[in-house]
């Protein structure tokens, strides 16, 4: 929020219709708070660990007691756990999915908390809008499905991708090229960028609209009627706020689901 307020003081309400920082990074990069042995700790890094502890806390308190009849909170957590286990791991990968369940489950909860940090009051920053987390998780997913693909199918995994026998021979090289590009290069990049881009766009929209709204409404005594545009910005910001809740949950789900789909496509590799 410090960054946002900084941007606000620089905002030229007389000449602009919306407050935007000179550099996008102002909204995403925070100054170093303190340094541990050359390791610069920023607000983002603290929030990452906070997200981890929140995710652990939700799971711990939700599943703590082995109650036969769970509380409301416990039932909600159990519902989510059951959703990842049955809806993603078992439905997509099959009975083998149990093996990958810890990874999928940890991923889902970590991303869910990280995404919803955007709409959490006083935090208002999605840690998944920093490339580090999506890139790391996508890389792990990439390593897993590559490893599974080669372990299950030997080099047929690569060869059959380039030279798919199910396709008419004239088109084989083209389909093979597209498949190769899509599986080995595009999959991990798009997986990471999808989450990252959604959260960046959401955070940009939210901060710009809400702060612009507040600043313009506050400036009504100075600039008169033009300040009422702030009401519109703020209303739009509130709508985006609700939309971001949906997007945060959906993106966590899609990231986990695509990971499961990619792993499944390596297990049951057919061409």
Partner 1 sequence: MQFLNALMVLATEEGGESGGGLSLVLPHPEELIAGILAFLIVFFFVWRKALPTINKTLEARQQAISGQLSEAEESKREAESLLTDYRAQLAEAKSEGNRIIEEARTAGEQLKADVVARAEEEAAQILDKAREEAGNEKTRALAEARREVGQISVGLAEKIVGESLDDKMQQDLIDRYLADLERL
Partner 2 sequence: MEGNIEALVGPLSLVGYGLGAIGPGIGIGIVAGNAITAMARQPEMQGTIRTTMFLGIALTEALALIGFVLFFIASAG
Out of 33, 91, 228, 239, name the contact with partner 2 by CB under 8 A: 91
The residue assigned the tokens 């703020």 is: 234
Q: Number of residues in contact with partner 2, rule: CB under 8 A?
A: 16
**Which residues from 87-106 bind partner 1, rule CB under 8 A?**
101-103, 105-106
79 binds partner 1 (CB under 8 A): no
193 binds partner 2 (CB under 8 A): yes
Q: Which of 186, 182, 187, 152 is nearest to 258 (CA)?
A: 187
The residue assigned the tokens 């090229």 is: 177
182 binds partner 2 (CB under 8 A): yes
Residue span binding partner 2 (CB under 8 A) among the ranges 13-21, 119-127, 145-153, 186-194? 186-194
| DSSP type of residue 123 | T
Please name every residue paired with 39 in a beta bridge, in sequence order, or none if there are none. Answer: 36
**Which residues from 207-226 bind partner 2, rule CB under 8 A?**
none
261 binds partner 2 (CB under 8 A): yes
Instruction: Say how far apart CA 111 and CA 103 lie, in whole Å.
Output: 12
189 binds partner 1 (CB under 8 A): yes
| DSSP type of residue 268 | T
72 binds partner 1 (CB under 8 A): no
Instruction: Say how far apart CA 110 and CA 51 lie, in whole Å.
Output: 7
Count how many residues are written for the chain: 271
> Cβ of residue 269: shortest distance to partner 1, in angstroms?
21
């Amino acid at each position: 929020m410090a960054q946002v307020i900084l941007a606000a003081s620089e905002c030229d309400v007389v000449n602009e219709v919306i407050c935007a920082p000179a550099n996008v990074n102002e909204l995403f990069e925070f100054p170093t708070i303190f340094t541990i042995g050359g390791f610069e700790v920023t607000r983002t890094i603290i929030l990452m660990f906070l997200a981890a502890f929140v995710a652990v806390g939700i799971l711990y308190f939700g599943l703590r007691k082995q109650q036969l009849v769970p509380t409301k909170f416990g039932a909600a957590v159990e519902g989510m756990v059951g959703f990842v286990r049955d809806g993603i791991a078992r439905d997509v990968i099959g009975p083998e999915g149990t093996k990958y369940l810890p990874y999928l489950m940890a991923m889902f909860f970590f991303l869910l908390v990280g995404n919803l940090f955007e709409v959490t009051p006083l935090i208002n920053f999605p840690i998944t809008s920093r490339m580090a987390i999506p890139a790391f998780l996508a890389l792990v997913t990439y390593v897993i499905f590559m490893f599974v693909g080669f372990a299950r199918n030997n080099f047929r995994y690569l060869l059959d991708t380039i030279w798919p026998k199910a396709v008419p021979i004239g088109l084989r090289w083209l389909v093979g090229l597209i498949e190769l590009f899509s599986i080995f290069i595009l999959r991990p990049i798009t997986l990471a960028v999808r989450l990252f881009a959604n959260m960046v766009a959401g955070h940009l929209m939210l901060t710009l609209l809400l702060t612009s709204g507040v600043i313009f409404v506050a400036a009504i005594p100075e600039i008169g009627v033009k300040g009422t545009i702030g009401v519109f910005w703020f209303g739009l910001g509130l709508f985006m706020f609700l939309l971001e809740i949906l997007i945060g949950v959906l993106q966590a789900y899609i990231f986990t689901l695509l990971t499961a789909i990619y792993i499944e496509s390596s297990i049951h590799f057919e061409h």
